[in-house]
Amino acid sequence: MSGLLDGKVAVVTGGGGGIGEAVARLFAAEGCRVVVAGRRPAPIERVADDIAGLAVTADVSREDDAATLFAACEDTFGRLDILVNNAGMVPPRAGVEDQDMAPWEATFAVNVRAVILCIKHAAPMLKRRGGAIVNMASRVALHGFPGQIPYSASKFAVLGITQSVAHELGPFGVRVNALCPSATLTDEQRRRLAERAHDQGHTVEEQMEAEILTAGALYRAVMPGDVAAAALFFASDRSSAITGQHLVIDAGRP
């Protein structure tokens, strides 16, 4: 049986773990050849080896690294059909009066500058035959969240990039959409939950119940595979008439 992405080539940034790893593995299972990018060699090489993909070590907030990433894709596969801008960071929580500009700058470098740099260098390849860009925004790109001002602001920016680039690249058959997941139960999220549980004198189970499970209509956590499935929809021809949009994956949080 053929896959939804047979014959396609994708670049997935932040592909060494969490949502990015789930996307890379699902895309490969659907017939896609995947370039797995990330700042640390070991995780991306592990994923790439498992899916017969290509690992490229790159800090995509740096233009030279972003250019090298897409040059490697061109040299190896000769084409690009899908870009998943998944690389991101969540700074420490802080109130408005305690904002430190160093986390602001780091957050915008990874969450915003890296997105536009990857699109800049992917666009010439995508325009050849059309394709799809999937940007990772967040549920906090829609309403903000106390204590996460730089993160929320950066993800609002991702939605602006998504809508603007969708209009610019649409005439070339390139669709651009964004995903807005709520807190997703990656290994990193589990670590943060454990830290907050310790700080508040709760068990991890109690913290998860309070923060995640009871917050949504489905009474369940969002898993990396849930977000990967949404990325597959936007990357495949099943969303061929959709661009400049965002999709919320949050298990029904109000």
- Give catalytic residues, as residue numbers: 151
Three-state secondary structure call for residue 175: strand
Three-state secondary structure call for residue 134: strand
Closest to 217 (Cα-Cα) out of 253, 185, 249, 248: 253
Q: In the β-sheet with 33-38, what is the strand arrangement from edge to edge?
A: 54-57, 33-38, 9-12, 82-85, 131-136, 174-181, 246-249
Torsion (CA) 108, 9, 82, 175 in degrees, nearest 10: 160
Counting other chains too, the contacts that 51-60 makes at CB distance below 8 Å and 24 or more residues apart are 51/24, 51/25, 52/28, 53/24, 53/28, 58/13, 60/13, 60/87, 60/114, 60/117, 60/118
Q: Is the dihedral of CA 58, 64, 70, 73 positive or negative?
A: negative
Three-state secondary structure call for residue 99: coil
Closest to 235 (Cα-Cα) out of 60, 45, 7, 14: 7
Helix (H) or strand (E) holding 85: strand 82-85
Question: What tokens does 108 get?
Answer: 């915008």
Question: What tokens does 57 get?
Answer: 């070590």
Three-state secondary structure call for residue 56: strand
